[in-house]
Chains A and B, each alone.
Chain A
Amino acid sequence: MDVLGLVALSAGLIVALGASAACIGIAIMGSKYLEASARQPELMNALQTKMFLLAGLIDAAFLIGVGIAMMFAFANPFVAAS
């Protein structure tokens, strides 16, 4: 397998693994948020801000991965090196 194929494969893996992990993270947080606001509805607004903040933080690692994978795909540093 040549370098280009390996890079394409790894870019796919970066996106896929990151996406699945981020989805699990968002799902766990969302379910806990719903649970908490069912228990104490008066805290809903305060928790909502924090939930969105955390959603952004969870998403971020995945999206950094997507950015790096896309960089490998379109501005490939490995092909130039080989």
Chain B
Amino acid sequence: MTTAHAKTPGEYIVHHLGHLNSSPPLPQGEKAKIVDWSVINYDTLFFSISLGLFTVFLLWLGARKATSGVPGRFQACVEVLVEMVANQAKGIIHSPESRRYVAPLALTVFVWIFFMNAMDLLPVDGLPLLWQVATNDGHASLRVVATADLSATLGMSVGVLVLCLFYNVKIKGAAGWAHELFTAPFGSHPVLWPVNFLMQIIEFLAKTVSHGMRLWGNMYAGELVFMLIALMGASWTFSTTGAMLAFAHVVAGLAWAIFHILIITLQAFIFMMLTLVYIGQAHEGH
């Protein structure tokens, strides 16, 4: 257990799911609302912005130190990334002018999300414990995985939606896009206009929500599995067969961490690919 007084497993998990945010402490017995626009999650903001700056700095360093001679390991790594993203972008977005903005965006998103997801691999209790010691408050909560916060991932997917709308207007023109909104996917007969429009709105909503929820679901579930594994290790002192639990804790933690390396990379890649695909769709008429 992390603090001096023992917590029940339920309390431990609930405490770990608490954000460091601007909401005042709730009265006893009252539950927080699921959607509350007035609350700002400081921990999510801090970790996402600082990791974003770190990403930009790292890529800038890679570009600045690049030589045309034999590349070092770091430069080769950045080059592989850039080439991978550039190839994917070339296959999906056919306008070179849009690609000049969208391909670097996709690269930044990929590396940024990868770093935010990689915070999951730090010990579950590590940074929160440090934070509790630093603030001298045993109940201070801190969540280090910014992508396990639905506000962050939905924020990013809404950002992609805004870009999609922008490119829709830019490529097709306001009139062309309005025409598409009302005539695709079923046809241009006036009776079908409301149905078409409804379908388009549903498509945009579904794309944006699933885009954000996909990343959040993976990271939230992954974080919880890490917490459950930590609990398994923590509860070995309580039971008679405890030594087995301690052993299983190490094995399960190791296995899940290794599997999670795949998941965090894959999810960052998928978010990047879907960003490209959605913006690519904005370039194509139905």
Q: Which of A35-74 contact B (CB under 8 A)?
A: 52-53, 55-57, 59-60, 63-68, 70-71, 74
Taking a contact as CB atoms under 8 Å apart, the answer to whether A67 and B216 are in contact is yes
Known contacts A65-B217, A67-B217; decide if A56 and B270 are in contact (CB<8 Å): yes
Tell me the complex Cα distance, A55–B213, Å: 16
Interface centre among B218, B222, B273 (most CB of A within 10 A): B218
Main DSSP-derived SS at the B contact region = helix
Q: What residues make up the interface of B, taking CB atoms closer than 8 Å to A? A: 10, 13-14, 17, 30-31, 34, 210, 213-214, 216-218, 220-222, 224, 266-267, 269-270, 273
Residue of B nearest to A76 (CB): B31
Main DSSP-derived SS at the A contact region = helix
Taking a contact as CB atoms under 8 Å apart, the answer to whether A59 and B31 are in contact is no
Taking a contact as CB atoms under 8 Å apart, the answer to whether A64 and B213 are in contact is yes
Contact partners of B216 in chain A: CB under 8 A: 64, 67
Q: Number of contacts between A and B (CB, 8 Å)?
A: 54
Residue of B nearest to A54 (CB): B270
From A55, A67, A68, B266 is in contact (CB under 8 Å) with A55
Taking a contact as CB atoms under 8 Å apart, the answer to whether B273 and A63 are in contact is no
Is A77 at the interface (CB under 8 A from chain B)?
yes
Tell me the complex Cα distance, A68–B216, Å: 10
Contact partners of A66 in chain B: CB under 8 A: 217, 221, 224
From B34, B218, B224, B269, A53 is in contact (CB under 8 Å) with B269
Q: What residues make up the interface of A, taking CB atoms closer than 8 Å to B? A: 52-53, 55-57, 59-60, 63-68, 70-71, 74-75, 77, 80
Tell me the complex Cα distance, A59–B259, Å: 13
Taking a contact as CB atoms under 8 Å apart, the answer to whether A80 and B17 are in contact is no
Taking a contact as CB atoms under 8 Å apart, the answer to whether B17 and A74 are in contact is yes
